[in-house]
Amino acid sequence: MTPARRRITFQLGLLAAIAVGVTSSAPSRAGDDCPQEGECTFKKPLVLFVVEYSTAMNQTWDALEQQTRWDALVSTLQTLTQPGGFVEQNTYMGLLRYGHDPDPDAPGTTIPGDDSGLVDGLALDLEWDDEALVWRDCAPLSAHLSSLAPPLMGASEGIGSWTLGALERAALEFAQTAADHPEDMGTRQGMAIVFTQGDWTGPNGVDAPAEADPVGGAAALLDAGIATQVMAFPGDDAAKAEADALAAAGGSGVALEGDSPAALEQPMAEFILEIIDAVEVPECASSKPRIMVLLDASSSTLNVGDAPGAMGETSWDMARELLAGPLFTYPAGFAEIGDLSLIGLSVFGDDQPDPGEQRVLIQYRPCTQDAIAWALDPLSSCEQPGCEDPWGGAPITWTFQDGAQQDPCLEPQTLSHMPRCEGEGPCAGSGAFVHLGLERMASNQAEYHAQQLGAADNPTSAQTTYVNVLITDGGYTGYSTDAQVQAALESMAQAGIETYVLGLGEALDQPEVIAQLDQMAAWGSGGAETHFELDTLEVLQQRLAAKVEAVEFDPCCAFLTCEEDQACDGGLEEGDPDQGESAESESTDDESSDDESSESDSTEGESSESSESSESSDPYDSTEDGPPPDSTGSGDEIGDDTGDGEDTSGDDLGEDGCSCRSADRRDGGHPLAWLALLPLLGWRRARSSRRRQQ
């Protein structure tokens, strides 16, 4: 069964980001959970709701709904700030109500008949922090609004609308809060949102002198880096014009319709998300361990005993299912091995034609499970007339492919591969020259490491950890010598690159094979390890997890997590390897695999073979590690930025038909010119069947 496609999503590492979904139908809060700022989160912006509490708000706003301006205001504000919602969980909310000051020269003046708490025409009902200067997360603004009676209990007059006084008080509150929190170093953003019917008065609540025009207060806030949004409930065009002028002075263009929460939700969401996006979260890719799998691609992996193996019964199928499934989904710290590692795939087989069948199919990159499943799927390399049934036995002529040319879900380069299946009956033709695979794996690691030093995507560093996993279904007698294998493994081990050995297949009951597997494991680990089998697979997973957990990640690292993505499922289902889904292609990294080509098994450029044998032809150039003469490959290669093929690096895979995509990040700037972004979000087989005589 083809594993579900996966996509890459953005995730903070040891401390998760606190942003939640943006929707007017806000997600429900789980219990009393309220996200708090942490070491790695963005700074919650300060949002001050400046609410007009004049008796003009008691006038009818919606006669059909029998709703006053005050009713509409409360409904809008409660919808916007509901518990568990985006605004409540991602901002510090304050509430400032205003009316008028009956005696500006006498501090402590109240309005006759008002018992809501207005003093000198103002009431700061909710502050962003408490008396101990501790931030108040998820302030109960909605509940407080429910407790407020309409101005003067619904009277038609008695409280004016001294908007300028409210904005001046807002400016003082923003300034004082910044002074109270020097740890923010002036970087915490703020926004004022005025709810008004549009008309304004002077301090006394009666006349409207020019010096009381609130546009001056909004302009002063903007000069201090605080934008002012306006939600208006105007009674006529003149009042709407006043509200628009206030919004323009505050940097937000025009006033928004007061009874439409969605109208305000969008600019608020943009404001908050741009703050989140401005957080410079280190991706820490250089810290991620690199794991390269070297898979035995000898012909015996396609057989069971002396007969071709049925689907799901061969060592090849078992290795494919293991690599595409459980091996890298083992927990490692706060994620899985595959989430915190870059994984590649290489194979080894015969030594002919020169230089041999060893090659890298998938370069180190994130979330390779689906790519591995496709690359090792017999159906991916089975095309008529050379192949009718990939499990039907010899003769089969494979046609190797580059999956990236068929499906953006397999970008960058993903090469298919199969052992040769020549002769008649059981497959033959590919030997087990393991030392050639080890040497190619070592040279690839050196080339990759040098190329990625300081790279923009998935850079390497002197501290980057490398580890190898060799998966084989038998020994190497008759193909490689002990000296050749030992030299390759010990050379990597001395360079700090450990190689674990996993044995599969029918030969695991043969003492000489077990001895060779243990010998390779010891050479590859400085004598610390023996080989693993399926019944000790969890121990191997624990070893790999320990490699990941040993890395000291920056606690603010951002990671790519591999999650199921149905958008890519179905394009490359088993039995339909050639049909890819069309999608906007965006790759998440720009490493490429070995520079071999995608399309293979042409009969040109190969060693000679008899027409009777129907041998599988070598898809790669016989004299160099590169594309065959007739290849339609991408031209991507390690260390070569000028390949002739289409360069797919650097693009992110799109959501519509792609298994690897980065988390949605906003692009473009905030429409408000004032906003300054923050600079900181078993089977066993006879040894004689490893390669049969041609």
Helix/strand/coil for 67: strand
The sign of the torsion formed by the CA atoms of 27, 31, 37, 43 equals positive
CA distances to 22, 29, 262 from 26, rounded to whole Å, are 7, 9, 12
Distance between CA atoms of 251 and 225, rounded to whole angstroms?
10
pLDDT at 606: 35
Rg of the chain over CA atoms, in angstroms? 34
Rounded to 10 degrees, what is the CA torsion of 426, 311, 514, 486? 80
pLDDT at 186: 82
pLDDT at 88: 87
The crossing angle, in degrees rounded to 10, of helices 163-180 and 215-223 is 20
pLDDT at 33: 62
Distance between CA atoms of 233 and 230, rounded to whole angstroms?
10
Structure tokens at 279: 């957080």
182 preceded by cis ω (within 30°)? no
Report the pLDDT averaged over residues 174-189: 92
Higher pLDDT, 546 or 574: 546
What are the structural domains of the chain? 46-277 (3.40.50.410), 285-358+431-564 (3.40.50.410)
Q: Which pLDDT band holds residue 407 (cuts at 50, 70, 90)?
A: confident
pLDDT at 261: 63
Closest CA to 229 of 275, 199, 194, 196: 194
The sign of the torsion formed by the CA atoms of 515, 520, 526, 531 equals negative
Distance between CA atoms of 566 and 629, rounded to whole angstroms?
37
What pLDDT digit, counting tens, does each position of 142-170 carry? 999 999 999 999 999 999 999 999 999 99
pLDDT at 578: 34
Least confident piece of the model among 332-341, 424-433, 467-476: 332-341
Structure tokens at 583: 């999608």
CA distances to 49, 316, 646 from 86, rounded to whole Å, are 16, 49, 41
Helix/strand/coil for 257: strand
Distance between CA atoms of 403 and 401, rounded to whole angstroms?
6
Structure tokens at 350: 């015969």
Distance between CA atoms of 235 and 540, rounded to whole angstroms?
73
Q: Are 113 and 65 in contact (CB under 8 A)?
A: no
CA distances to 84, 115, 188, 574, 636 from 581, rounded to whole Å, are 37, 65, 44, 14, 22
Give residues with Cβ within 8 angstroms of 441, minimum separation 6.
Answer: 292, 294, 346, 360, 468, 492
Residue entry with tokens 């040894």: 687
What pLDDT digit, counting tens, does each position of 344-371 carry? 999 999 999 999 999 999 999 999 999 9
Q: Are 152 and 55 in contact (CB under 8 A)?
A: yes
Closest CA to 477 of 525, 434, 420: 434
Distance between CA atoms of 160 and 408, rounded to whole angstroms?
63
Higher pLDDT, 665 or 591: 591
Higher pLDDT, 327 or 13: 327
The sign of the torsion formed by the CA atoms of 13, 18, 19, 20 equals positive
pLDDT at 238: 95
- What count of Cα atoms within 13 Å lies in the side-chain half-sphere of residue 621? 15
What pLDDT digit, counting tens, does each position of 297-312 carry? 999 999 999 999 999 9
What pLDDT digit, counting tens, does each position of 58-107 carry? 999 888 878 899 999 999 899 888 888 878 888 899 999 999 999 999 99
What pLDDT digit, counting tens, does each position of 132-144 carry? 999 999 899 999 9
Indicate the residue type of 228.
Answer: T
Rank 7-16, 57-66, 320-329, 577-586 by mean pLDDT and report only the highest: 320-329
Report the pLDDT averaged over residues 662-670: 27
Distance between CA atoms of 411 and 403, rounded to whole angstroms?
7
Rank 223-227, 603-607, 666-670 by mean pLDDT and report only the highest: 223-227
Q: Which pLDDT band holds residue 386 (cuts at 50, 70, 90)?
A: very high
For 30, other C-beta atoms within 10 Å of its C-beta total 7
Q: Quick one: DSSP state of residue 500?
A: E
Residue entry with tokens 């009674």: 235
CA distances to 115, 340, 665 from 562, rounded to whole Å, are 57, 10, 17
Report the pLDDT averaged over residues 205-223: 96
Helix/strand/coil for 283: coil
Residue entry with tokens 């000489």: 512
- What count of Cα atoms within 13 Å lies in the side-chain half-sphere of residue 641? 5
What pLDDT digit, counting tens, does each position of 31-52 carry? 346 777 776 667 889 999 999 9
What percent of the chain is predicted at pLDDT more than 90?
59
CA distances to 84, 137, 204, 265, 589 from 29, rounded to whole Å, are 4, 14, 43, 19, 36
Please, what's the b/e burial string for 523-560 (b: 16 or more CB within 10 A of its CB; e: otherwise)?
A: bbbeeebebbbeeeeeebbebbbebbbebebeebbbbb
Helix/strand/coil for 459: coil
Distance of CA 136 to the CA centre of its chain: 30
